[in-house]
Every structure is written in C-alpha cells, then in structure tokens.
Amino acid sequence: MKLFTPIKIGKLEVKNRIVMPAMATGFASEDGQVTERMISYYEERAKGGVGLVIVEFCGVERRGRPLPMQHMIDNNLSIPGLQKLVEVIKKNGAKAAIQLHHGGIKASAKITQVQPVGPSDFPPYPAGMGPPPRALTMKEIHELVLSFGEAAGRAKEAGFDAIELHGSHSYLIDQFISPRFNQRTDRYGGSIENRARFACEIIECMKEKVGKDYPIICRMTGDDYVEGGITLQDARITAKLLIRSGVDCLHVSVGISDNMIPTLPMSIPDGFFLHLAEGIKKEVDVPVIGVGKINSSEFAEQALNEGKCDLVAMGRALIADPYLPKKAREGRAEDIIPCIYCNQGCITRISDWLDMTCLVNPAVGRESGFQIVRAKVPKKVLIVGGGPGGLEAAIIAKQSGHDVVLAEKQEHLGGQLNYALKPPKKDRIEKLIDYFSNQVKKLGIKIYLGKYVTIDFVKEIKPDIIVMATGSTPRSPDISGIKRENVYWATEVLEGKKVLGKRVVVIGGGQVGLETADFLAEAGKDVMVLEMLSEVGTDVPPRNKMFLMKRLLEENVQIFVDRKVEEIYDKGIRADHFGLHEEFKGDAVVISVGSKPDRSLMEELKEIIPELEGFYMIGDCVEPRKALEAIYEGAHVAREI
C-alpha cells in the first residue's frame, strides 16, 4: 500500500503517510508545561505506528491563549519537558513535529487577563465573549514575528524533527490572511500578498533561527465556507507565497465559520475536505497533507492513489485507536476501534475547557494507569446487559483473564446504540456495534441473547462477580391522555413501529427528540417539536447541533420552546406557554422526555448479592447519561475486578 511507503518533507524522511495532526488535549499543567500525562498520551500514539506526530498547538505568547491548559513554548523553561516528550515519540519510531500557535482575536481575556489582539479591530469573537479585540500595531507585529522565530529555535533545541505553523482555523495567522478578519490598509492588509505577509515573515524568521534545511509545515485554510472569507482560489495563491518563503509541506484544512468546522460530525461524508488538498496539490510541488474524517487505511489509500494528497491526517481516528496504523498494516481491520465522530469526548470537552477523553476509548488521558493487567486470581464474571457499557466491561474482564458470561434480554447486542443509529446520517454507530460484537465473539465470551436474567439463571451460572449494565427505560411524563392509541415512544419509532397519520408532534427537544424528528421528517411526516425549556438540543455537542438544526430547518420541522404539554387528545396536544394555553394539531404524538434507570432486576437479586465477591452497577442503570460514561464505567469496573 502506498499509505505505508516513506515520504520526504524537505530533507526529513517519514516512514509512512499517516500523520497524527495537532489536537488540543488539555493535559498540560496550569503554567503551560508538559506533564507525564501528555507524555503517556503521545507515547501511545507513537507506539501505534503513525509516521509523523504533530504535537498539539503550543503557544508562542501568553496573550494568545484561547484555552487553559494549553502548553507553551514562550520561554526556555519549556525546553526540558518538550525534550522528554520528543524522546518518547522518536524512540517508538515516529517523527516528531510541534505546532506553533497564537489565538489572536480568539484568545480568551478570561485566561490571559489582557485584551485580545488581531489584524484589525473586531467585534468579540465569539460574539458576546469578553472585550472586543484591538488591531496590532506595526511594532507588535514585528515582535510577534520574532516570538514565532524564537519559539521555533526552542522547538529545534528540544529535538523536534519539524515545526508546523498554525495558519488555519481562524487563529491569528489565518486572521491576517482572511479578508473576513483583516481590514488593514497598511502593508499587512488589502491584497492577498499583503495579507499573507505576516505568515511569510514568520516563516522567514523561523528559517533564520533553525536553518534553511529544517522542515517547516504550514496548516493553512483551503476555504472559509463563508461570504467574504478565504476561497480555494485565494488559498492557491497563498500556498505559493508560503512555499516561496520556505514552507516544505502544506496541511490543508478550513477556517471556522458559522457554516463549517474542522471537527466534522458523523453526519458529514468522509473525506469532506479532501478536494481542498487536491486543489492546492495541483498548484504546488511540496507534499500536501489532506484532512477531514479520514478514518480507515482503505479510504486513506484511495485518497493517495487518486492524487488528492500526499499524506493523510487521521486525527480523531488515532484518538479512538492509537494502534490503527499497526493493525491496518497487519490486516486486522476488525480489531480497530472505530471513531464514530460523536465529538463528545474530544472537541466538546476541550471547548468547555475540560481535558479530553474519548467515547470509544476510555483509556485516552489515562494511558499510564489504564493498562490491562492479568488477574492473579481469575473470577467468574456475569455481565447483565449487552449495551456499550456491558460490552466494554466484558471485553476488558476477559482480556484480564476472567471467565466472562454476558446476558442480554434483546436478541441482539448494542443496547441503546441500536436506537441511536436509526436517525439520518448516524449509521456509523453500526461500526461500533460491529466492533464490540466481533471482539466478544473473538475472545470466546459466552453470550446469551434473548435472555432475561432471573435468580435461577444466576444460581446456574454461579458467578463470583456480577456487573449490572441493564440500562434505562423511557420516562413517562405526567400528561393527561398519554395512554392514547395515537401516542408513541421515541424508542418504538426508531425501532420501526409505523407512526399513523401525516402530522406528528414530538414532545421533548433533547438530542433523542430532535433526531427522532429528523427521522420522521425524512420519512415524509410533517413534524413539530415541543420543548419545555427555552432552548432545544442542550445535550447535543455544539458542533453536531449546528448540522442537525440545519437539516431540521431544511425539512421544515417546526420547533416551539417554553411549551409545557398539559394534555394529549385524539387530534393533537394542548400546552402551556407562560400562562397561555395553546393547541397543536397532530395525528400522532411521540414522547421523548428522557429516561429512568432500569433496576427491575435488583429486587429479585438482592437476596444473593451479599453472597457475591463483588457487585457493580454501570451506565444508565446508575443514572441515565450517554455512552461515553457507560463505556468508561465498564472499562473502569472491569479493571478493578
């Protein structure tokens, strides 16, 4: 496969074409230093067989920080920690680069305690967040150019093989290049050449500090996807200017706008941004890295063979499974943990100023303490429930050497994942169910499907440990008429139960309610959503919500907030809206107002629980949440057994 052939970036040879792009983790210390947690995280990715690791965005100036726990390279105190990080990456066979960054107008005054700066005076970005940024003076621009150059020198001293300049995602360098942000009238504004001048001067300064043969990569925007922003035509010109200044490789992404984001959800097609890399590649003679939901070796190979790029960035896919390259090369595709692009554990947590984790890989950020250790005394473990938490617990317990039995009352594994994959454009969840199913079968775990666990069954199995992963059931609100024949539960609808009538009212505007509305609208129904809160989708990751709400708008789904449903009748519902009583006509009503723990088995088992060596509860049977918590709890409990 071309994917596993070497390639040169300048004079640096990389062993294969797989790049781990820079992705914020939140693992740095409060003062921006490398931590052991960071080192373990990157070490695991390097062990997995990736060719080039680009360490997450590293600040060159304190006032440019958009996030807390961003690591810094603004003084020499950072060098020893970075040297340790470089060492573990390189000793495991990968090349190490580091991304240099400044947030510009996206810096947080709450973190930096100073007014953000950018190419021009600009409204707060995002709107309503902190003081409005001010335009940099000429003196400050020259000082920033030097800051980038000195940071590059520190990176080289720390042992990095290359540097990546962050010139995308609407951060400072991208702000200068984009006419959307840059309204200057001096030599740094106006024409494309002037707007790119800041980036070009930084590159030239870095080359002076590190030498002309030291590789420099630039992450650049191929399109802003917004009127008045960067277009692919602009990007082609900018690319040539960057190369003329000394760039050895281009990493083509997008700017962040109201229409587009780099961290695409599962609803957007794989490889969505590859045409931008292809558009740049046609114009330049340096390697080009393609990005945008490249999640398998087969898809990556296709992109390379079609000439869309020279290397592929596999970001969230390598968070989900750091050993993806190694497994792919060994022909073990079924063992690769699939990223489902839910955005829950990674970008949503980072945006909320939390540390990163991963729904499908709970070991993320816990690498040093989450290794699987063989049990000294193997136990017989009964897992009750074949949802994501129960499946994860079964796999880890079996890998630890225990004798594992899993019982699921449904005729199939996956639990509520089977409902989650039914709405439009969520079929990637099926890959996670397939992965779990393949692993439990491959490990030889005894599985009982269609088995409702009873005390007699437990006595027959004779487990030492029971792990309860029985999930949750839909919550029934106190609404008059809820037992009418025209009332359905969201889970029933997603299972395939036919909803009679044309007009449907969905009660509940959380993620399940909105996705059920999407499901019904795609089936040709006229749909209304009623939510008692003042906002819908509060439990949907913001980046995913943007695309979901756009689809609902295109499908003419009507959304009403601040409506508390009081009564369901044969032709619709009545709701209270700040004391006013409103009627909404509908042939059918779908209920989606949350869940409650399913602990129905607890009462029957309580008499034998004291006789067990261990009894654990995980996932929704503790408290209804998301698969992220269920899988983590399954992984954690299985390691404790």
Catalytic residue among 41, 42, 171, 435: 171
pLDDT (tens digit per residue) in 224-240: 998 889 999 999 999 99
Task: Give the type of residue at 162.
Answer: A
- The larger pLDDT score, comparing residue 373 to residue 139, is at 139
Are 309 and 251 in contact by the 8 Å Cβ rule? The answer is: no
Q: What is the mean pLDDT of residues 132-152?
A: 97
Which strand (E) or helix (H) includes residue 595? strand 595-597
Q: How many CB atoms lie within 10 A of CB 184?
A: 19
- 3-state secondary structure labels for all residues of 452-509: CCCHHHHHHHCCCEEEECCCEEECCCCCECCCCCCEEEHHHHHHCCCCCCCEEEEECC
Q: What is the mean pLDDT of residues 86-99?
A: 98
54, 35, 46: which is closest to 168 by C-alpha? Answer: 54
Sort 157 into a burial class: Cβ within 10 Å, 0-12 / 13-18 / 19+: middle
CA torsion, ordered 187, 189, 195, 200, to nearest 10 deg: 20
Q: Given this model, what pLDDT does residue 461 score?
A: 94
Compute the distance between CA of residue 19 and CA of residue 234 in angstroms, rounded to an integer: 25
Compute the distance between CA of residue 246 and CA of residue 29 in angstroms, rounded to an integer: 33
Q: Given this model, what pLDDT does residue 126 score?
A: 58
Backbone angles phi, psi at 485, to 5 degrees: -70, -20
pLDDT at 127 over 60: no
Average pLDDT, the chain: 95
Q: What is the mean pLDDT of residues 542-548?
A: 92
Are 263 and 542 in contact by the 8 Å Cβ rule? The answer is: no
Are 364 and 319 in contact by the 8 Å Cβ rule? The answer is: yes
Residues 496, 497, 501, 504: is their CA dihedral positive or negative?
Answer: negative
79, 81, 19: which is closest to 53 by C-alpha? Answer: 19
DSSP character string of 129-158? SSSPPEEPPHHHHHHHHHHHHHHHHHHHHH
Compute the distance between CA of residue 555 and CA of residue 545 in angstroms, rounded to an integer: 15
Q: Given this model, what pLDDT does residue 125 score?
A: 62
Confidence of residue 602 (pLDDT cuts 50, 70, 90): confident
How far from each other are the two terminal CA atoms of the chain, in whole angstroms? 42
Are 468 and 621 in contact by the 8 Å Cβ rule? The answer is: yes
Q: How many CB atoms lie within 10 A of CB 450?
A: 10
Clarify whether 171 is annotated catalytic.
yes
Q: Given this model, what pLDDT does residue 489 score?
A: 96
Q: Given this model, what pLDDT does residue 346 score?
A: 95
Q: In percent, how much of the chain has pLDDT > 90? A: 91
DSSP code of 3?
A: G
Compute the distance between CA of residue 587 and CA of residue 503 in angstroms, rounded to an integer: 5
Q: How many CB atoms lie within 10 A of CB 96?
A: 23
Q: Interior CA angle at 550 toward 545 and 555, to 5°?
A: 125
Confidence of residue 570 (pLDDT cuts 50, 70, 90): confident
Q: Given this model, what pLDDT does residue 577 score?
A: 95
Residues 154, 356, 331, 371: is their CA dihedral positive or negative?
Answer: positive
Compute the distance between CA of residue 232 and CA of residue 626 in angstroms, rounded to an integer: 39
Q: What is the mean pLDDT of residues 560-573?
A: 94
Confidence of residue 536 (pLDDT cuts 50, 70, 90): very high
Q: What is the mean pLDDT of residues 610-614?
A: 89
Q: Which residues, in sequence order, are bridge partners of residue 560?
A: 530
Backbone angles phi, psi at 209, to 5 degrees: -80, -35
Q: What is the mean pLDDT of residues 76-83?
A: 97
144, 241, 148, 256: which is closest to 196 by C-alpha? Answer: 241
Q: Which residues, in sequence order, are bridge partners of residue 572?
A: 569, 585
Q: Which residues, in sequence order, are bridge partners of residue 18?
A: 312
Distance of CA 126 to the CA centre of its chain: 20
Compute the distance between CA of residue 498 and CA of residue 481 in angstroms, rounded to an integer: 20
Q: How would you label 51-65 residue by residue, b for 16+ Cβ within 10 Å and e otherwise?
A: bbbbbbbbbbbbbbb
pLDDT at 158 over 70: yes
- HSE at residue 98, side-chain half, CA atoms within 13 A, is 29
Sort 250 into a burial class: Cβ within 10 Å, 0-12 / 13-18 / 19+: buried
Backbone angles phi, psi at 238, to 5 degrees: -60, -40
DSSP character string of 208-222? HHH-TTS-EEEEEES
Q: Given this model, what pLDDT does residue 124 score?
A: 63
pLDDT at 262 over 90: no
The CA-atom distances, in angstroms, between 320 and each of 20, 347, 394, 440 are: 12, 13, 19, 18
Confidence of residue 307 (pLDDT cuts 50, 70, 90): very high
pLDDT at 131 over 90: no
Q: Interior CA angle at 252 toward 247 and 257, to 5°?
A: 125
Q: Which residues, in sequence order, are bridge partners of residue 404?
A: 381
Confidence of residue 99 (pLDDT cuts 50, 70, 90): very high
126, 50, 629, 33: which is closest to 349 by C-alpha? Answer: 629
pLDDT at 129 over 80: no
Q: pTM for this one?
A: 0.93
**Alpha-helix residue ranges (DSSP H) falling in 578-624:** 600-605
**Pairing mode, if any, of strands 595-597 and 472-474?**
antiparallel
Q: Which two tokens stand for residue 226?
A: 């917004």
583, 615, 614, 588: which is closest to 599 by C-alpha? Answer: 615
Compute the distance between CA of residue 520 and CA of residue 527 in angstroms, rounded to an integer: 7
Backbone angles phi, psi at 86, to 5 degrees: -60, -40
Backbone angles phi, psi at 600, to 5 degrees: -60, -30
Where is average pLDDT lowest: 235-239, 369-373, 430-434? 369-373
Task: Give the type of residue at 355.
Answer: D
Are 311 and 17 in contact by the 8 Å Cβ rule? The answer is: yes
Confidence of residue 128 (pLDDT cuts 50, 70, 90): low
List, in order of start, the domains of the chain with CATH numbers. 2-351 (3.20.20.70), 380-473+597-640 (3.40.50.720), 487-593 (3.50.50.60)
